[in-house]
């Protein structure tokens, strides 16, 4: 057993090393505002209305919450963020975060945008992965229907065939350029369809090494069983399993839909159950690291420490390419920067897109920071701690 490098997530000097005093104070003001739940809800509503009414607020949004959580409006605008993270040994995952459009032209445009991120990754040592949502290239209603026992119409079959071709075009380009690509998880009523498409892509492109990664939301009580199922299939068919492990993003929505339809709630009954399942899934993957590559997408400090201990236990070096840690841009810098400083592979999700189009994403980040118990307070306290340290 190789001892794990010593890492302290309380070390704010490392966590905020690349922020000037002015930048850190700006972050302090933003998280101070986000620490106020009523201010977040009121401010989010006002921002949406102002944009809908074409009021001149885009500059203010771009210089505040957008700048904290997004890399820019275009891939090119993200370059300074990519370079800044790269100087600290942190990779970038460019995440095209435009939402709301659901037509063939928009799906085709998204394919070209994701391929552009793959081309950028192929020429940059600071971009280890690309990522996309299947609902960015296919109609969510079609994905959901394909998961039921209902027969697709001829038009729907043709649309599904085009959706599969778009997913394949992205994964094939990733394979050709040697760039790993995450396929994000989505709601349970379409996830099985997404899982099957992802497995098809793994069978095609993961023969020599993991290129395509599925995403497993461990707040769902059945996901470790799915990881085990996918591992067995990979073993039997001679390809590598890529897995991004996250806790999940649709908990309240899943509960509401299950209740409305009279279905069993797919979500774990408690946060403790989710935490235990997440860590159990990490252990399973490390026990089978010869065939599985993972990215631990987590803002949970204990899970990070646990994965570091597992790596030491299984004699996996901190910089082993099969294991990455990942966090969102603008959040949990105490994890990302301290892990990278200790030699672990770390990447930040860097969303980008026009300000108006990424507003749903931005408002979710603000809501998460107030809704997740202690998250905003934790971020705020770390920034305050670093400001105090610098004053001393």
Domain architecture of the chain: domains with CATH: 72-358 (3.20.20.220)
| 31: Cα separation from own chain's centroid | 21
pLDDT of residue 60: 78
DSSP, residue by residue, 140-153? HHHHHHHTSSSPPP
pLDDT of residue 373: 42
pLDDT of residue 55: 57
CB 34 within 8 A of CB 354: no
Length reported for the chain:
392
Q: Is the dihedral of CA 74, 79, 80, 83 positive or negative?
A: positive
> Other CB atoms closer than 10 Å to residue 261's CB: what's the count?
8
Specify the DSSP class assigned to residue 4.
P
Tens digit of pLDDT per residue, the chain (392 long)? 777 789 999 999 999 999 999 999 999 988 887 776 655 554 455 555 555 656 556 777 788 888 999 999 999 999 999 999 999 999 999 999 887 678 999 999 999 999 999 999 999 999 999 999 999 999 999 999 999 999 999 999 999 999 999 999 999 999 999 999 999 999 999 999 999 999 999 999 999 999 999 999 999 999 999 999 999 999 999 999 999 999 987 888 888 888 898 888 999 999 999 999 999 999 999 999 999 999 999 999 999 999 999 999 999 999 999 999 999 999 999 999 999 999 999 999 999 999 888 877 777 665 654 444 455 578 889 999 999 999 98
Report H helices in the chain: 12-15, 21-34, 37-52, 58-62, 65-69, 79-87, 104-122, 140-146, 154-177, 188-205, 223-237, 251-261, 271-287, 301-313, 333-341, 355-371, 375-391
Three-state DSSP class for residue 319: coil
pLDDT of residue 1: 73
pLDDT of residue 100: 64
DSSP, residue by residue, 81-106? HHHHHHHTT-EEEEEE---S--SHHH
pLDDT of residue 273: 96
pLDDT of residue 372: 47
CB 217 within 8 A of CB 223: yes
The model's pTM is 0.93
């Amino acid at each position: 057993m190789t001892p794990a490098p010593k890492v302290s997530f309380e070390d704010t000097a490392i966590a905020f090393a690349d922020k000037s005093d002015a930048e850190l104070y700006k972050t302090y003001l933003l998280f101070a505002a986000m620490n106020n739940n009523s201010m977040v809800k009121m401010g989010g509503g006002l921002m949406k209305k102002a944009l809908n009414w074409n009021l001149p607020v885009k500059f203010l949004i771009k210089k505040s919450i957008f700048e904290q959580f997004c890399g820019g409006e275009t891939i090119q605008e993200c370059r300074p963020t990519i370079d800044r993270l790269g100087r600290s040994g942190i990779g970038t995952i460019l995440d095209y975060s435009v939402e709301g459009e659901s037509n063939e032209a928009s799906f085709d445009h998204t394919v070209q945008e994701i391929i552009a991120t793959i081309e950028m990754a192929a020429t940059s040592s600071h971009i280890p992965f690309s990522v996309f949502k299947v609902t960015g290239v296919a109609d969510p209603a079609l994905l959901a229907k394909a998961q039921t026992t209902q027969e697709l119409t001829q038009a729907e079959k043709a649309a599904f065939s085009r959706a599969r071709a778009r997913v394949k075009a992205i994964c094939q380009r990733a394979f050709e350029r040697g760039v790993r690509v995450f396929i994000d998880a989505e709601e349970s009523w379409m996830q099985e369809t997404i899982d099957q498409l992802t497995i098809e892509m793994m069978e095609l492109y993961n023969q020599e090494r993991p290129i395509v990664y599925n995403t497993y939301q461990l707040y769902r009580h059945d996901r470790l069983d799915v990881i085990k199922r996918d591992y067995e299939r990979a073993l039997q068919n001679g390809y590598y399993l890529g897995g991004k492990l996250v806790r999940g993003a649709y908990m309240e929505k899943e509960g509401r839909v299950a209740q409305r339809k009279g279905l069993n709630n797919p979500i774990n009954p408690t946060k403790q159950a989710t935490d235990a399942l997440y860590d159990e899934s990490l252990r399973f993957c490390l026990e089978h690291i010869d065939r599985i590559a993972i990215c631990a997408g987590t803002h949970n400090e204990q899970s990070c420490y646990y994965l570091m201990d597992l790596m030491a236990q299984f004699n996996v070096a901190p910089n082993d390419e099969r294991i990455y840690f990942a966090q969102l841009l603008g959040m949990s810098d105490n994890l990302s920067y301290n892990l990278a400083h200790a030699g672990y592979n770390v990447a930040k999700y860097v969303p980008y897109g026009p300000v108006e189009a990424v507003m749903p994403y931005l408002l979710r980040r603000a809501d998460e920071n107030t809704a997740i118990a202690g998250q905003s307070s934790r971020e705020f306290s770390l920034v305050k701690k670093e400001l105090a340290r610098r004053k001393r």
